[in-house]
Amino acid sequence: GDLPQELLLSLYESIKTEPFKIPEDDGNDLMHTFFNPDKEGWLWKQGGRYKSWKRRWFILNDNCLYYFEYTTDKEPRGIIPLENISVRAASDRQR
Protein backbone atom coordinates (compact mmCIF):
# COMPACT_ATOMS: atom_id res chain seq x y z
CA GLY A 1 0.00 0.00 0.00
CA ASP A 2 0.62 3.59 -0.53
CA LEU A 3 1.34 5.88 2.39
CA PRO A 4 -0.99 8.81 3.06
CA GLN A 5 0.10 12.03 1.34
CA GLU A 6 0.11 13.92 4.66
CA LEU A 7 2.64 11.47 6.12
CA LEU A 8 4.86 11.69 3.05
CA LEU A 9 4.80 15.50 3.12
CA SER A 10 5.60 15.49 6.84
CA LEU A 11 8.56 13.15 6.33
CA TYR A 12 9.82 15.19 3.39
CA GLU A 13 9.65 18.45 5.34
CA SER A 14 11.44 16.96 8.36
CA ILE A 15 14.27 15.67 6.15
CA LYS A 16 14.45 18.97 4.28
CA THR A 17 14.65 21.12 7.43
CA GLU A 18 16.88 18.79 9.48
CA PRO A 19 19.53 17.28 7.19
CA PHE A 20 21.28 14.07 8.16
CA LYS A 21 24.51 14.62 10.07
CA ILE A 22 27.34 12.25 10.70
CA PRO A 23 28.20 11.95 14.40
CA GLU A 24 31.57 13.29 15.46
CA ASP A 25 34.06 10.48 15.95
CA ASP A 26 37.61 9.49 15.11
CA GLY A 27 36.66 8.63 11.52
CA ASN A 28 37.21 4.87 11.81
CA ASP A 29 33.49 4.07 11.53
CA LEU A 30 33.23 6.10 8.31
CA MET A 31 36.30 4.47 6.82
CA HIS A 32 34.77 1.05 7.52
CA THR A 33 31.50 2.15 5.88
CA PHE A 34 33.23 3.31 2.69
CA PHE A 35 36.00 0.68 2.56
CA ASN A 36 34.05 -2.12 0.85
CA PRO A 37 30.93 -0.55 -0.72
CA ASP A 38 28.19 -2.41 -2.59
CA LYS A 39 28.71 -0.05 -5.56
CA GLU A 40 30.64 3.16 -6.24
CA GLY A 41 31.16 5.53 -9.13
CA TRP A 42 30.63 8.94 -10.69
CA LEU A 43 27.07 10.22 -11.22
CA TRP A 44 25.53 13.59 -12.03
CA LYS A 45 23.48 15.21 -9.25
CA GLN A 46 21.30 18.29 -9.48
CA GLY A 47 22.02 20.84 -6.77
CA GLY A 48 19.43 21.68 -4.13
CA ARG A 49 19.92 25.44 -3.97
CA TYR A 50 21.26 26.07 -7.47
CA LYS A 51 19.70 23.76 -10.04
CA SER A 52 22.92 23.12 -11.95
CA TRP A 53 24.21 19.59 -12.50
CA LYS A 54 27.41 18.59 -10.70
CA ARG A 55 29.52 15.47 -11.07
CA ARG A 56 29.77 13.68 -7.73
CA TRP A 57 31.38 10.47 -6.46
CA PHE A 58 28.69 8.16 -5.06
CA ILE A 59 29.04 5.20 -2.72
CA LEU A 60 26.16 2.78 -2.14
CA ASN A 61 26.39 0.83 1.12
CA ASP A 62 23.82 -0.60 3.54
CA ASN A 63 20.75 1.06 1.96
CA CYS A 64 22.39 4.50 1.97
CA LEU A 65 23.75 6.47 -0.95
CA TYR A 66 26.62 8.77 0.07
CA TYR A 67 27.98 11.43 -2.26
CA PHE A 68 31.27 13.29 -2.29
CA GLU A 69 32.78 16.10 -4.32
CA TYR A 70 36.03 14.14 -4.81
CA THR A 71 37.04 10.48 -4.39
CA THR A 72 39.60 11.57 -1.79
CA ASP A 73 37.07 13.31 0.51
CA LYS A 74 36.91 11.79 4.00
CA GLU A 75 33.30 12.84 4.75
CA PRO A 76 30.32 12.84 2.38
CA ARG A 77 28.69 16.08 1.25
CA GLY A 78 25.35 14.34 1.63
CA ILE A 79 23.55 11.13 2.48
CA ILE A 80 20.46 9.78 0.75
CA PRO A 81 18.71 7.04 2.77
CA LEU A 82 17.22 4.31 0.57
CA GLU A 83 15.29 2.36 3.20
CA ASN A 84 11.90 1.18 1.87
CA ILE A 85 12.56 2.69 -1.57
CA SER A 86 11.53 0.91 -4.75
CA VAL A 87 12.34 1.59 -8.39
CA ARG A 88 10.05 0.88 -11.30
CA ALA A 89 10.15 1.48 -15.03
CA ALA A 90 8.17 4.47 -16.28
CA SER A 91 6.61 4.58 -19.72
CA ASP A 92 6.87 8.39 -19.91
CA ARG A 93 10.54 9.42 -19.97
CA GLN A 94 9.63 12.96 -18.82
CA ARG A 95 8.43 11.72 -15.40
CA distance 11 to 8: 5
Domain made up of 5-81: CATH architecture:
Roll (2.30)
* pLDDT 10s digits, 10-50: 877 777 776 666 556 555 566 666 778 899 999 999 988 88
Which residue intervals of the chain are DSSP H helices? 5-17, 28-35
- Going from N- to C-terminal start, the domains of the chain cover 5-81
pTM for this entry: 0.60
**Average confidence (pLDDT) over 41-64:** 91
- How many CB atoms neighbour CB 4 within 10 A? 9
| Beta-carbon contacts of residue 81 (< 8 Å; ≥ 6 apart) | 20, 63, 64
CA distance 52 to 33: 29
CA distance 42 to 73: 14
